[in-house]
Amino acid sequence: MSVKLRFNSPSDGGLIHRSRSFTGLGSLSGRPREYLEVHQAEMELLSSQQRETKRNSRLAFLYDLEKEIKALERYIRRLEFQMSKVEELYETYCVQWKLCQGAVNMKRAFSLSPSSRASRESLHFLYINVPACTSDCDMSTMEGDLEILLGELHIKMKGLIGFARLCPGDQYEVVVRLGRQRWKIRGRIESDDSQSWDEEEMVFLPHVYHNFEIKVMEAKGLGWLLVGMVTCASVDFFVAQPQLMLVDITELGTIKLQLEVTWKYANARNAT
């Protein structure tokens, strides 16, 4: 699919977030709650419209509005239920992770301490039980369940910003990675300064450990020259409403990448 995009300047309005280049998932604490508040605010607005409509006796519009309110009520209940599952799973995961880390730290400490009968017996006990601890808790299964509950991240390519760096005829390749997931797209700068890209959108499944890695290449002669590569913390992509993100590709920010990120927390895969 060929997508022709004209870049919208940040001065045109809209929510712009500059990415930060650091690793580590960080904490998602508050993000699902924040997501719920957006829909609760929408619910309050619809309820207000419903009360006003009842006073005006517009029955047809009132019927459609009531249907929309009921659908939103069901969606909010599903969100609340899913949030409770995420919080319960995350708490269990954190407790089990701390137990496993404690066992590993004790094993390291006993192995470095002066040898004695007590230390040897303790070390032998840990050698037997540390693998059992990491196996029985099945951390990978909990990680997979948590990732499924986090929904999907929809990322749209909105274009490159380069000011004087972008010239008609220039060709670029953008590669976005999240763990084993990979999105590679190519585009060119047209004579009217618009940008054409061979794909517009990619859906990524969240990952507990991996962060987003973005690489931009420019066509030079018969090959490709690296423009810049950056790592963005995945936690920055989890926001309640769609956002535009500006990613500095070069160290001085002479080339930037603009992405539109939408987090679909309760998606069709998890609907019950």
* Single pTM value for the model: 0.66
Position 59 scores a pLDDT of 62
**Where residue 249 falls among pLDDT bands split at 50, 70, 90?**
very high
Position 84 scores a pLDDT of 85
**Where residue 76 falls among pLDDT bands split at 50, 70, 90?**
confident
Q: What is the residue extent of each domain of the chain? A: 3-27+151-270, 31-147
Burial tier of 66 (Cβ tally within 10 Å: 0-12, 13-18, 19+)? middle
Check if the beta carbon of residue 22 is closer than 8 Å to that of residue 213.
Answer: no
CATH class of the domain whose range is 3-27+151-270: mainly beta
Number of alpha helices (DSSP H) and beta strands (DSSP E) in the chain:
4, 11
Instruction: Give the three-class secondary structure for 174.
Output: strand
Whether 200 has a pLDDT exceeding 70, the answer reads: yes
Whether 257 has a pLDDT exceeding 90, the answer reads: yes
139 vs 272 pLDDT, higher one:
139
Write out the DSSP string of 194-245.
Answer: -EEES--EEEE---SS--EEEEEEEEETTEEEEEEEEEE-GGGG--SS-EEE
**Where residue 43 falls among pLDDT bands split at 50, 70, 90?**
confident
Q: Of the candidates 189, 151, 150, 148, which has an alpha carbon nearest to the alpha carbon of residue 168?
A: 189
d(CA 257, CA 156): 11
Position 122 scores a pLDDT of 72
Position 12 scores a pLDDT of 43
**Where residue 19 falls among pLDDT bands split at 50, 70, 90?**
very low
> Which residues are CB-contacts of 156 (< 8 A; sequence separation ≥ 6)?
200, 201, 259, 260, 261, 262
Q: Mean pLDDT lowest for which of 54-68, 95-109, 167-181?
A: 54-68
**Where residue 66 falls among pLDDT bands split at 50, 70, 90?**
confident
Whether 5 has a pLDDT exceeding 60, the answer reads: no
| Range among 24-38, 103-117, 215-229 with highest mean pLDDT value | 215-229
